[in-house]
Structure 1
Amino acid sequence: MTQTLSCACGKFQVALVGDPFITAECHCNSCREGSKRLSSLPLSRPMTAANGGTPYVLYRKDRVSFPDGTALLRGYRLSEKAPTRRVVTTCCNTPVFVEFNGGHWLSLYASVWHDSPAPAMQIRTQTADLPAGTQLDEALPAGAWTTAGFYAKLLGVWIAMGFKVPKIDVAEAEPA
């Protein structure tokens, strides 16, 4: 099964084969800071949930393609040496994905699913990074063991891919 999603204006598309290997709402410092910085762009869709977490739908890179290429994408890093980049479209500033240097997966923003509901979130990760006093509901599993299981899942997917790390060429913007 292949699913095609598009940016808000329809000029950019991403094609996904099969189902995601996991969905996760991330609360790490990097995701919170990245969302804060990118909110200075006139984003066409929100990147975060009401609780401040960032909902992602994770796919193996070998199951993601860009039918119209990547010319309409721009990557933003928190610093020149940041291990992650947040990628949005240049046509309408739709948040598309987060990519880790050397990563074998893409964390697609759940907001890319605008014509249909995004897959339901399964877990919360990196909740130890939440600011003091932040309270989350108990709708999703969270905590150190959940995050450890998440990393184990990433390793299992990488093994299934034969330890390959497909490259995605995206133009980089100045640090956001």
Structure 2
Amino acid sequence: MTGTPIMSVSSYCASCQKAGALIEQLAGAPRVLGADGGTDFVLQRKDRIRCAKGGDQLEEHRLTPGAPTRRVVATCCNSAMFLEFSKGHWLSVYRDRLAGAPPLDMRVMTRDRRDGVVLSDDMPNYATHSGKFMWRLLRAWIAMGFRAPGVAGLRS
């Protein structure tokens, strides 16, 4: 990854929780979900990420065959690497995969969090994808000339 990330978030959406639980069941897989059920991501423009090596070890997982999102796992260690919205211009990289990852900016989709989870007020907590979240994605897309490229070194 190069350049400043779009943002760093913890997602509590039902899909992230379901996919995280499934990935964690893979043999030897490290944790995906936080203790509170959130999944931490660093969002980065696709044109600022490339797979230098090991692309042949990546395998996609979709919650349903036609799902517009795929979660990609390294088969050598069953580590969740990133989530890709197929028509998007960014990748959501699992934050634990990055050395020196930036601190979280916000929590999103908190309306889907597990029953009984109380979130602290140490950062903004949004019930859905906030205007700030959407604005940052749009601003990155504008900077990319409204392109949604693939990622160098990865299979689509």
- 1:25-64 Cα offsets, whole Å, 9 max, x none, are 0000110010011111024432122211000011100000
Q: Is residue 137 from structure 1 mapped to residue 120 from structure 2 by the alignment? A: yes
> Equivalents in 2 of 1:32, 1:17: separation in Å?
28
Shift of 1:73: 0.4
> Equivalents in 2 of 1:99, 1:23: separation in Å?
15
Question: SS where residue 65 of structure 1 aligns?
Answer: coil
- 1:76-97 Cα offsets, whole Å, 9 max, x none, are 0000111211111111112110
> Equivalents in 2 of 1:145, 1:39: separation in Å?
25
Q: Is residue 93 from structure 1 mapped to residue 93 from structure 2 by the alignment? A: no
Partner of 2:24: 39
Q: Give, as a single letter, the amino acid of the residue that structure 2 aligns with 1:123.
A: M
Report the more deviating stretch, 63-72 or 119-128. Answer: 63-72
Shift of 1:166: 1.2
Q: Is residue 159 from structure 1 mapped to residue 142 from structure 2 by the alignment? A: yes
Q: Give, as a single letter, the amino acid of the residue that structure 1 aligns with 2:27.
A: P
**Which structure 2 segments of 5+ residues have no match?**
none
Rate the CA distance shift 1:68–1:82 in 2: closer, same or farther, 3 A: same
Is the 8 Å Cα contact of residues 123 and 141 (structure 1) preserved in structure 2?
yes
> Equivalents in 1 of 2:71, 2:22: separation in Å?
10
> Equivalents in 1 of 2:2, 2:69: separation in Å?
23
**Which structure 1 segments of 5+ residues have no match?**
1-15, 172-176
Is the 8 Å Cα contact of residues 82 and 91 (structure 2) preserved in structure 1?
yes
Structure with the larger strand share: 1
Is the 8 Å Cα contact of residues 21 and 33 (structure 2) preserved in structure 1?
no
> Equivalents in 1 of 2:87, 2:21: separation in Å?
24
User: Alignment identity in percent?
Assistant: 38
Question: SS where residue 56 of structure 2 aligns?
Answer: coil
Rate the CA distance shift 1:28–1:81 in 2: closer, same or farther, 3 A: same
Report the TM-score, using the length of structure 1 for normalisation. Answer: 0.80
Q: Give, as a single letter, the amino acid of the residue that structure 1 aligns with 2:33.
A: T
> Equivalents in 2 of 1:103, 1:158: separation in Å?
9
